[in-house]
């Protein structure tokens, strides 16, 4: 068993660790991100949720547009969920957006529009876990609380030579004990320390090519000393990625496309999407598409004039890969609007709350060879 799980917490304390991180962050860390240099818990919370499993460069534009539309937690709480989803469209992991809206409502209803400073109370809100709660509280209130996101786990795994997958419960529990023990003393810069751990993982101790020469923790790093930076952290045991297929119907009429409301739960929950012929079907169960069958299925939307395949695309979810085969179905006459569906102007499709791959494939409808 890795010795990490055997340590008493007092044996894990190391004031030099936090000092090295704080000194490095003040001189070399990131200081100009739009959610920094503020105690506004709303802005800090929004950035922390957006940055979950998403790179800073991808978040910047969304963050600015989101704040422009929802400048306060009250404005977010009062907005329709559809509006929130539309402004999140393309950022992925859409459960975050639904939790964001639910969390805003709770903060307004339960705390009068002010986020609590206690990490334990923050962690009870929708979409906020233990590490995110600690980060929000540290940056907004200076609370001495430990974080342990993916970047920090990677830093700890390398520095302390953790030779087990960090996602295993006993190992993760041990890493939390380590994180708590390494916190700087009160009044010694919890904000710089917290930001420093994030910055180290994001800019130096990266997954692929860690920049050990510039790392302030290099002198104490087990992975560096043993030439195992490429091996640690131990990766999650691989499982075969299931593959599925979906036939999507881009039903068009008079410059509009028919969109269907997705269920609140599940893939792309709460977003609009294209109607699907048979859902997400395993490739081993999928049958070849028959144009006449597709035309018949689209008959509920109106009189079909033409069926034409569009370019396929593949989209990866966390738990399976989806192969999408879209079809353009032009109507000669519209039959009406089925329940749960809406007609949307193609010229305004960028404003629709659509999953990124669906928005991408709908772009094909603007090509002269496919849509005149």
- Active-site residue flag, 188: no
CA distance 301 to 206: 50
Compute CA distances 250 → 41, 269, 298, 352, 368, whole Å. 42, 19, 10, 14, 16
Q: What are phi and psi of 309, to 5 degrees?
A: -70, 140
Tell me the three-class secondary structure of 236-260, residue by residue.
CCCCCCCEEEEEEEEEEECCEEEEE
Residue from 164, 162, 60, 44 nearest 114 by CA: 44
Q: Which of 48, 188, 285, 306 is catalytic?
A: 48
CA distance 137 to 144: 8
Q: By the 8 A CB rule, do 320 and 240 touch?
A: no
CA distance 236 to 174: 17
Q: Across-strand partners of 331?
A: 304
Active-site residue numbers?
Answer: 48
């Amino acid at each position: 068993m890795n010795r990490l799980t055997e340590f008493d917490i007092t044996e894990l304390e190391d004031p030099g660790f936090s000092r090295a991180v704080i000194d490095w962050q003040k001189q070399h860390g990131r200081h100009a991100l739009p959610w920094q240099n503020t105690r506004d818990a709303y802005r800090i919370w929004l950035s922390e949720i957006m940055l979950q499993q998403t790179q800073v460069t991808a978040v910047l534009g969304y963050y600015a547009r989101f704040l422009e539309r929802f400048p306060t937690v009250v404005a977010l709480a009062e907005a329709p969920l559809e509006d929130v989803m539309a402004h999140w469209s393309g950022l992925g992991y859409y459960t975050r957006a639904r939790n964001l809206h639910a969390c805003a409502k709770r903060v307004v209803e339960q705390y009068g529009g002010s986020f609590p400073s206690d990490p334990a109370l923050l962690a009870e809100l929708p979409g906020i876990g233990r590490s995110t709660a600690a980060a929000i509280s540290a940056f907004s209130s200076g609370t001495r609380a430990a974080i342990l996101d993916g970047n920090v786990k990677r830093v700890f795994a390398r520095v302390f030579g953790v030779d087990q997958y960090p996602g295993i419960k006993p190992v993760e529990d041990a890493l939390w004990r380590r994180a708590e023990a390494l916190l700087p003393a009160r009044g010694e810069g919890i904000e710089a320390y917290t930001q420093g751990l994030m910055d180290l993982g994001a800019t130096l101790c990266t997954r692929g090519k860690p920049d050990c020469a510039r790392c302030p923790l290099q002198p104490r790093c087990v992975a560096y000393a043993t030439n195992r930076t490429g091996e640690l952290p131990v990766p999650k045991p691989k499982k075969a990625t299931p593959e599925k297929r979906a036939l999507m119907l881009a039903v068009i009429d008079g410059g509009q496309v028919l969109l269907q409301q997705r269920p609140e739960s599940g893939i792309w929950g709460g977003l609009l999407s294209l109607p699907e012929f048979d859902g997400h079907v395993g490739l081993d169960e999928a049958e070849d598409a028959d144009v006449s069958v597709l035309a018949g299925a689209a008959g509920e939307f109106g009189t079909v004039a033409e069926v034409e395949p569009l370019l396929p695309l593949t989209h990866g979810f966390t738990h399976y890969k989806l192969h999408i085969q879209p079809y353009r179905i032009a109507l000669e006459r519209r039959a009406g609007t089925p329940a749960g569906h809406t007609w949307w102007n193609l010229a305004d499709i960028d404003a629709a709350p659509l999953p990124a791959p669906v928005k991408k494939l709908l772009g094909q409808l603007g090509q002269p060879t496919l849509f005149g």
